[in-house]
Structure 1
């Protein structure tokens, strides 16, 4: 199992995985794209791929084997464009991120996923209904012509219809990137559970390489709202490092004493402080654990309805490594000790969908194996 790094401070829980973005890069505050690699041989370029979310943009340059040659990052998400969309804001952000590459490699295909395909994005890519395969995503791709004359292929999101409809936009690309790591498991008809912790955490059931059903938990956003805008935050002190004991206390209070629901337990963050049982520095981690515990308890209840459970379940996590480490710790309290971190899911997903769309030729088996080892 891949080991996650040290868990992040609870104060960063809500922002650790940006809701609509696929990645968690540290972004240039100016909004200008910054190159991580100074010298790149663009004669090897085969694909430009973008993870374009609400508040951030990350661009990848791939070679023909599916390896990332270069990466550029920007704060120019769809709600933070350098100028209004009506005045060419999307083109300006695209040019800033990818213009230097495309000047020297003008014929390279371009694909994008994330909120750029939302109703507020460059061009709306209507949702594909679940169950959804990678082929269905390819069929739902929409195309927009950029000012440079390049065609941008935008991947759609996924919609699960019902009385409580659910949507994802961006996560579907990560999921198919993670599935590419274990094609046998994805095609043998077995259900696989994939978690994407974040502002709006997703738990997705995949079967036969299709996104079958999923649930969204607003854990990160609720944490931020409770801390910043309720009485609970008044006694909280930002800790220097994670308090594991306080975190697990929250997880287990949700698991063992949360039958009345989250609304009946969150006030304990304050009352445990008032009674001297929880220091101010411990309260953020306690609340973090409490909310994640309720999330996992709710997930477990849903799994039981489908003759499954977290106890003894092997699953995969996609997202910020430190935040996933926090979830791995919480999952152990539910009997789940096999929660592997799927690395490079975003870029692998973009490459996989571009390949299935015929934008690039499939990488050789040797190249795929080398990339898996490197990741």
Structure 2
């Protein structure tokens, strides 16, 4: 660690976890640390809990480099977070995020700059929000600037996001509660009673998942409420092993998400990039291919690059060849 020359501490602070990145020039990650202390799992309630979680993760870094700037993104800026950073309306880029960021003081005497989320409210439609994904988008655009002019992003997860970007700005997005709906149906509905804890053999699981995707692909509007009952009846009749019912349901829900999102998109010629956990992105990429929409890129975790980009826009660190403001 003696050869390190860090420029920034960046925090990706979500609901269930906290990740810290010690970053050097040009956004290189010098060291990474993780903690289970997301905003709903703090060591103690309230401000003291945020302070304790921050100190446990970053105290050693700050003891050594006390002048390092600190930025944060994610649910730490929500109404349940350390300090609320209100949503900015789309279209929004990283400069807008920096201009609307909020600062929270720490007992060390330094302040943490917290990124706001983004609100999309299309005319005649319901509002939609993101918090944390905007930083990942900023990172994707920093790493792949060719996507800034016109890009389309899929960010699968508990609440999947399908995001449109024009000229470096988030212009609109849609959220699908696919992951949460899957968890609720498995744990708190009649469907889950036939689903054992053990997983199916890989080839059996894949066949069940594919059957769910194909059911979604050939469905009509409004079919989902009927189709999900098959996750029970296929098991009751012995047509599908009980251990594979979860995979069938996953394929059905992801397939319905992709069917809907592609149907809403008017961007058939726009590059589609996936951002997120590698295994889940790979699974979505396979579904997209079945629907004839091959993703151009799978980007993994772009949050560190996005936090560094946010810090540059806020003047907390310098871009290459420029002094910090």
TM-score, with length taken from structure 2 = 0.93
- 8 Å CA contact 1:199–1:220 kept in 2: the answer is yes
Residue segments in structure 1 that go unaligned for 5+ positions in a row: 1-39, 366-375
3-state SS of 1:93 partner: helix
Residue 75 of structure 1 aligns with which residue?
A: 36
- 8 Å CA contact 1:247–1:289 kept in 2: the answer is yes
Deviation at 1:260, TM superposition (A): 2.7
Residue 239 of structure 1 aligns with which residue?
A: 199
Residue 49 of structure 1 aligns with which residue?
A: 10
Deviation at 1:255, TM superposition (A): 1.1
Deviation at 1:261, TM superposition (A): 3.0
- 8 Å CA contact 1:65–1:364 kept in 2: the answer is no
- After the TM superposition, which segments of 4 or more aligned residues of structure 1 sit over 6 Å from their partners? none
- 8 Å CA contact 1:258–1:294 kept in 2: the answer is no
- 8 Å CA contact 1:43–1:105 kept in 2: the answer is no
Residue 157 of structure 2 aligns with which residue?
A: 198
CA distance in 2 between counterparts of 1:269 and 1:75 reads: 33
**1:124 has 2:81 as partner:** no
Deviation at 1:241, TM superposition (A): 4.9
3-state SS of 2:43 partner: coil
Structure 1 residues 101 and 182, CA gap change in structure 2 (3 angstroms): same
Deviation at 1:43, TM superposition (A): 5.2
CA distance in 1 between counterparts of 2:317 and 2:101 reads: 15
Structure 1 residues 194 and 99, CA gap change in structure 2 (3 angstroms): same
- 8 Å CA contact 1:47–1:63 kept in 2: the answer is yes
Residue 345 of structure 1 aligns with which residue?
A: 302
Counterpart of 2:317 (choices 360, 372, 375) is 360
Residue 221 of structure 1 aligns with which residue?
A: 180
**Aligned residues between the structures:** 317
Residue 8 of structure 1 aligns with which residue?
A: none
Structure 1 residues 239 and 258, CA gap change in structure 2 (3 angstroms): farther
Deviation at 1:63, TM superposition (A): 1.2
**1:164 has 2:126 as partner:** yes
**1:333 has 2:294 as partner:** no
Residue 111 of structure 2 aligns with which residue?
A: 151
Structure 1 residues 212 and 264, CA gap change in structure 2 (3 angstroms): same
Deviations for 1:233-257, whole angstroms, at most 9, x for unmatched residues? 1112331554221111101101102
3-state SS of 2:214 partner: helix
Residue 135 of structure 2 aligns with which residue?
A: 173
Aligned counterparts, 1:1-20, within 5 A = none
Residue 250 of structure 1 aligns with which residue?
A: 212
Counterpart of 1:211 (choices 170, 181, 184) is 170
- 8 Å CA contact 1:328–1:339 kept in 2: the answer is no
Deviations for 1:111-135, whole angstroms, at most 9, x for unmatched residues? 0000110111111101010111111
**What RMSD, in angstroms, separates the aligned Cα atoms of the two structures?**
1.7
